[in-house]
């Protein structure tokens, strides 16, 4: 009887060791992993299959986005100065280019693209598109402009802004079906209007009319636009905005 008891006790001890010893070994082996996890606030546990922990940075999505857009470029002088300011401020913007100008200033077009800005289409000749048929809008105004940009950058823009914002509703439907994205604006700085485009007027207009996801209309104009641009940027940053291209809003 005693031998049977001892034999049963030995078997029980072996079972207990078989269960708990691997667990203890595993816990000791994992202690450095546990310490690393506790030291890193950004960890992710994948619960299907093996337990894997991946260090990653937090994804921050700004709640206040805004887009600066510049029409009527490129040119040799003003567009270059705008690019200088954007580079200094580390901001990406959207440039709606006129096709007739693209071939005259290839270096500027390449710089816009290479510095990470979005190039969009502002028609070939900057005429009122309401006077053209839908087929003519693409054949005469949009396609030639995008092809000129593609020749220099390898990128064929499919985002367009009609000159003066003018476009018939049937043209809107036609272009949408053809894959074009139409972008107008929600905040006009009036930097194009000589009667109300002083730098302080432009900045105050932005201060009064700003809103999340605003698309701000500016132009590749002369000194007024260039002098106002740093103030516009700093004003919007002070209000908590982050700058994006129109396709990122």
Separation between Cα atoms, residue 142 and residue 160, nearest integer Å: 8
Give the pLDDT confidence of 176-215 residue by residue, as tens digits: 999 999 999 999 999 999 899 999 999 999 999 999 999 9
Regarding whether 162 and 115 lie in a shared domain, the answer is: yes
Does the CA dihedral 235-182-192-221 come out positive or negative?
A: positive
Average pLDDT over residues 36-60: 35
Regarding whether 188 and 116 lie in a shared domain, the answer is: yes
Domain count, the chain: 2
Q: Residue 14: pLDDT above 50? A: no
Q: Is residue 116 part of a domain?
A: yes
The tokens for 228 are 């106002």
Separation between Cα atoms, residue 246 and residue 249, nearest integer Å: 6
The tokens for 191 are 């930097």
From 59, 78, 104, give the residue that closes a domain: 59
Regarding whether 47 and 78 lie in a shared domain, the answer is: no
Regarding whether 111 and 54 lie in a shared domain, the answer is: no
Does residue 65 contact residue 242 with C-beta atoms inside 8 Å?
yes
Q: Residue 59: pLDDT above 80? A: no
Range of the domain at 54: 22-59
Q: Is residue 155 part of a domain?
A: yes
Give the pLDDT confidence of 86-100 residue by residue, as tens digits: 999 999 999 999 999
Separation between Cα atoms, residue 169 and residue 173, nearest integer Å: 6
Q: 46 falls in which pLDDT band (50, 70, 90)?
A: very low
Regarding whether 108 and 186 lie in a shared domain, the answer is: yes
* Residues 6 or more apart whose Cβ sits within 8 Å of residue 83: 108, 111, 112, 115, 117
Q: Is residue 6 part of a domain?
A: no
Regarding whether 239 and 205 lie in a shared domain, the answer is: yes
Separation between Cα atoms, residue 63 and residue 213, nearest integer Å: 9
Q: Is residue 11 part of a domain?
A: no
Does residue 221 contact residue 198 with C-beta atoms inside 8 Å?
no
Q: 63 falls in which pLDDT band (50, 70, 90)?
A: confident
Regarding whether 152 and 47 lie in a shared domain, the answer is: no
Q: Residue 43: pLDDT above 50? A: no
Q: Is residue 140 part of a domain?
A: yes
Regarding whether 81 and 31 lie in a shared domain, the answer is: no
From 44, 59, 74, give the residue that closes a domain: 59
Average pLDDT over residues 160-175: 98
Q: Is residue 9 part of a domain?
A: no
Regarding whether 134 and 157 lie in a shared domain, the answer is: yes
Return the H-helix or E-strand segment holding 118: strand 118-121
* Most distant CA atoms of the chain, gap in Å: 113
Q: Scanning the structure block, which residue is given the tokens 């900057």?
A: 126
Closest CA to 92 of 65, 121, 115, 61: 115
Regarding whether 110 and 176 lie in a shared domain, the answer is: yes
Which sequence positions are flagged as catalytic? Answer: 71, 219
Q: What's the confidence (pLDDT) of residue 142?
A: 98
Regarding whether 166 and 71 lie in a shared domain, the answer is: yes
Q: Is residue 15 part of a domain?
A: no
Q: Is residue 197 part of a domain?
A: yes
Regarding whether 230 and 131 lie in a shared domain, the answer is: yes
């Amino acid at each position: 009887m005693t031998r049977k008891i001892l034999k049963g006790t030995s078997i029980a001890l072996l079972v207990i060791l078989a269960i708990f010893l691997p667990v203890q070994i595993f816990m000791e082996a994992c202690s450095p992993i546990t310490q690393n996890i506790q030291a890193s606030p950004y960890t992710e546990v994948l619960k299907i299959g093996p337990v894997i922990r991946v260090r990653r940075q937090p994804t921050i999505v700004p709640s206040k986005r805004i887009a600066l857009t510049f029409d009527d470029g490129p040119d040799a002088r003003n567009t270059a100065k705008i690019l200088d300011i954007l580079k200094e401020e580390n901001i990406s913007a959207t440039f709606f280019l006129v096709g007739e100008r693209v071939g005259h200033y290839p270096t500027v077009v390449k710089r816009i693209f290479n510095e990470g800005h979005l190039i969009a289409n502002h028609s070939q000749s900057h005429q009122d598109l309401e006077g053209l048929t839908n087929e003519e809008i693409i054949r005469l105004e949009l396609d030639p402009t995008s092809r000129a940009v593609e020749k220099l950058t390898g990128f064929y823009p499919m985002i367009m802004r009609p000159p003066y914002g003018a476009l018939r509703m049937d043209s809107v439907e036609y272009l949408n079906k053809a894959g074009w994205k139409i972008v107008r604006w929600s905040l006009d700085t009036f930097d194009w209007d000589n009667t109300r485009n002083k730098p302080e007027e432009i900045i105050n207009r932005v201060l009064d009319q700003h809103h999340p996801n605003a698309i701000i209309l500016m132009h590749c104009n002369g000194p007024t636009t260039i002098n106002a641009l740093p103030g516009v940027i700093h004003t919007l940053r002070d209000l908590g905005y982050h700058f994006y291209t129109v396709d990122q809003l």
